[in-house]
Structure 1
Amino acid sequence: MENKEDKKRNKGGRPKKGTAEKLEYRIVVKLAATDYLRLLTRAHDAGVSRSEYMRECFRNGHVKGRLSEEHATHVRKLCGMANNLNQLAHKANAGGFYEERDDCKVAVARIHELLTKIGI
């Protein structure tokens, strides 16, 4: 009878953390001096430890992915068209706009089409 009372009795202390709350994995990150100082400053300004700041960044942060191959192709085409448009503008300034008007309209239309494909 005494054993049952001992088991039911609250012994005090902090309750055990659940599996999702335990911090049991460790990662090592190498930072350049400027990145480390930025981390220190931001953690200090937020009033939390460096580790807590990094955990919060992992939870709420957003990492922008690299361009897909398709988007990279569109960007290259866009750069080429921008170069062509600059050449047309140079010709228009040198020889008069009316001669280059149609070429400029075509270039602008193609640039607009690529921008819509990229999603800008």
Structure 2
Amino acid sequence: MEHKGRNKGGRPKKETAEKLSYRIGVKMAAADYFRLLTRAYEAGISPSEYMRECFRNGYVQERLSKEHSDYVRQLCGMANNLNQLAHKANAGGFSEARWDCKVAVARIHELLNKIGI
């Protein structure tokens, strides 16, 4: 009866270096506290995670906004359309897919301008 190698299920235990076991109390003025809350909200993370990111990297990278994530989703769909057009062009000749490719490229260019790339 060996039970030591048995998988009990659940999330694996974190290693010592990954555990958040230390707590630090920080006093802040009201303006600093609300600035922290605002910046954490804009980044889409908790204030604690915001402070950890600042400490690790010196900056915090903001998450994609809903608008930008919609643009990325649209770009993925357009990439799929371009792949279909390339397949169509290879199968039936390039002259048939020429107009469709121009339209797709114009839409992608317009979307990239909206994103700011």
TM range (shorter): 0.5 to 0.7
TM-score (norm 2): 0.53
| Counterpart for residue 81 of structure 1 | 78
Instruction: Supply the AA of the counterpart residue of 1:73.
Output: D
Larger radius of gyration: 1
| Counterpart for residue 113 of structure 2 | 116
Please, which runs of 5 or more residues in structure 2 have no aligned partner?
A: 1-13, 19-50
% identical aligned pairs: 77
Aligned residue among 91, 107, 115 for 2:104 = 107
Q: CA deviation at 1:60?
A: 6.6
Instruction: Supply the AA of the counterpart residue of 2:64.
Output: L
| Counterpart for residue 97 of structure 1 | 94
For this pair of structures, how many residues does the alignment match? 73
Question: Higher relative CO (CA 8 A, sep ≥ 6), structure 1 or 2?
Answer: 1
Instruction: Supply the AA of the counterpart residue of 2:73.
Output: R
Please, which runs of 5 or more residues in structure 1 have no aligned partner?
A: 1-31, 38-53
Structure with the larger helix share: 1
Instruction: Tell whether 2:64 aligns with 1:67.
Output: yes
4+ aligned runs moved over 2 Å, structure 1: 57-60
Q: CA deviation at 1:115?
A: 1.0
TM-score (norm 1): 0.52
CA RMSD of aligned residues (A): 2.9
Q: CA deviation at 1:58?
A: 2.6
3-state SS in 2 of match to 1:71: helix
